[in-house]
Amino acid sequence: MANKRDYYEVLGIDKNATDADIKRAFRRKAKECHPDLHPNDKEAEARFKELNEANEVLSDPDKRARYDQFGFEDPMAGMGGGGNPFGGMDFGGMGDLGDIFNMFGMGGMGSQQRRNAPRQGNDVRYDLRLSFEEAAKGCTKSVEFYRNEHCTTCKGSGAKPGTQPQTCTMCKGAGQIRQSGGWISTVRTCPGCGGAGKVIKDKCPGCGGTGRTRVKRTLDLKVPAGVDDSIILTKRGEGEPGINGGPAGDLNIRIVVRSHKLFRREGTNIRLDMPVSFTQAALGAEIEVPTLDGKVKYQIPEGTQTDTEFRIRGQGIQQLGGSQKGDLIFRVRVEIPKRLTDKQRELLRQFDENSTGKEYEQKKSFLDKVKDLFN
Ligand SMILES: [Zn+2]
Ligand SMILES: [Zn+2]
């Protein structure tokens, strides 16, 4: 799942691709890896499978919209329906469930409402990539996204201009067919119109009868300081248009924060590993600690051990929607020198000869324990 390739990438097309582009790209790519043309080629077989899957989703306007919205994390995926969660024109796999409820007279009204009442349009998902600093401090970003809108040629009806969708003759526009037999009555989605109540005879050339077209939109977004990875910012009403006069869906912008070379984030705190030389650690030193606002001087005490953590208050990240700021916590990593000059080696030998043994608490306690063990 994690390394599944993006469907647009698989087909080698842009997010703006039209249905014709998708068809063309699929045909071209299929030739390159069709199993009939590449017998016993496992890699070609896998690519063909991947290609088919991508084509199946992107060539279906509803599935494509859901893929744009949710990516591979579609909560409805595998449920067979593929319509929107509130039930749409395409009731698909949910149909059976609806029928069962109707048999017991439970969901009759609900289904009726679901099909003909105004419904909110689909939400649109957008991944916004930010640097560590942009997320911490906030920024303004121009967001370019795609959404389905009412086709301008047919104003969303799906019918060729000058014609009208016809009331379905099978269900007389109800979208459902009710059958009574004794004390049980069943209600089914009308197979003639798929529950829409209307049938389009002359399809609109602009949208192929779906009533929708894919449009690129740009929006300036103010990202507040303190946003973190996976947070979703919602722009109400910037999603797809409502159905039957319902309200538009939302634009859900999911924040993806790139990792930083030095800093790690922990809530509103920033963590940092800070290498210091063994002499700095032993003697104590004023070191320069990088923060989001530049370098800060910090005095580490004599005898600082490796892995000791120090906290600089207020140098963390601003709380999202608040005014509190977290801290910067840096952990000292004592570095032992690797390449010594002869002079340095000599000085260290002298240092060791002058050792009383009391400088090394841990070593002393360890040796005492070893002594106890063998006596
Ligand atoms: Zn149209
Ligand atoms: Zn019908």
**CATH code for position 360:** 2.60.260.20
Tokens (6 digits) for 20: 């014709």
101: buried, middle or exposed (CB in 10 Å: 19+, 13-18, 0-12)? middle
Mean predicted confidence (pLDDT) in 332-342: 95
Mean pLDDT on 118-133: 93
For the purposes of burial, counting CB atoms within 10 Å of the CB of 39, is it exposed (0-12), middle (13-18) or buried (19 or more)? Answer: exposed
Identify whether residues 210 and 336 lie together within a single domain: no
Whether residue 155 is contained in a domain is answered as yes
Work out the percent of the chain whose per-residue pLDDT is above 70: 88
Return the pLDDT at 76: 53
Ligand nearest to the CA of 192: 2
Q: How many domains does the chain have?
A: 2
User: Residue 165 Cα, ligand 2 centroid: separation in angstroms?
Assistant: 12
Same domain? 242 vs 275: no
pLDDT at 226: 96
**Residues 240, 131 share a domain:** yes
Q: How far is the CA of 79 from the centre of ligand 2 (A)?
A: 24
The span from the CA of 276 to the CA of 316, in Å, is 21
HSE-CB for 56 with a 13 A CA cutoff: 7
**Is 217 inside a domain boundary?**
yes
Asked if pLDDT for residue 192 goes beyond 60, the answer is yes
Range of the domain at 366: 264-374
Whether residue 233 sits in one domain with residue 206: yes
For residue 171, report the distance from its CA to the centre of ligand 2, in Å: 4
Based on the domain organization, do 249 and 341 belong to the same domain?
no
Q: Is the model's pLDDT at 84 over the cut of 60?
A: no
62 part of a folded domain = no
Do 253 and 331 share a domain, yes or no? no
Distance of alpha carbon 140 from alpha carbon 222, whole angstroms: 4
Q: pLDDT band at 88, cuts 50/70/90?
A: very low
Ranked by mean pLDDT, which of 158-172, 195-209, 308-322, 348-362 comes out on top?
308-322
- 308 belongs to a structural domain: yes
Shared domain check, 316 and 276: yes
Whether 107 maps to a domain, the answer reads no
Selection from 294, 265, 291 nearest residue 135 by Cα = 265
Q: Please check whether residue 322 lies inside any domain of the structure.
A: yes
Both 206 and 335 in one domain: the answer is no
Place 116 in a pLDDT band, splitting at 50, 70 and 90: low
Residues 136 and 243 in one domain: yes
| Beta strands per DSSP E along the chain | 124-130, 139-150, 166-167, 176-181, 184-189, 198-199, 212-223, 232-235, 251-257, 264-266, 269-277, 285-291, 294-300, 309-312, 328-335
Residue 237 banded pLDDT, cuts 50, 70, 90:
very high
The token pair at 156 is: 């969303």
69 by Cβ neighbours in 10 Å (0-12 / 13-18 / 19+) ranks as buried
Asked if pLDDT for residue 309 goes beyond 90, the answer is: yes
**Measured in angstroms, how far is the CA atom of residue 123 from the centroid of ligand 1?**
21
- Mean pLDDT (the chain) is 84
Task: Examine the domain organization and report whether 235 and 353 are in the same domain.
Answer: no
Q: In this structure, which ligand is nearest to the CA of 205?
A: 1
Distance CA 143, CA 147 (A): 13
Q: Which ligand is nearest to the CA of 163?
A: 1
Report pLDDT for 328: 98
220, 235, 259: which is the final residue of a domain?
Answer: 259
Q: Is residue 63 part of a domain?
A: no
- Both 138 and 254 in a single domain? yes
| pTM, two decimal places | 0.62
Model confidence pLDDT, tens digit, residues 136-146 = 999 999 999 99
**Ligand in nearest proximity to the CA of 150:** 1
Cβ atoms of residues 233 and 255 within 8 Å: yes
Quote the ligand 1 centre to 153 CA distance (angstroms): 5
Specify whether 361 is located in the same domain as 317.
yes
Asked whether residue 89 carries a pLDDT value surpassing 80, the answer given is no
Place of tokens 């969708």: 165
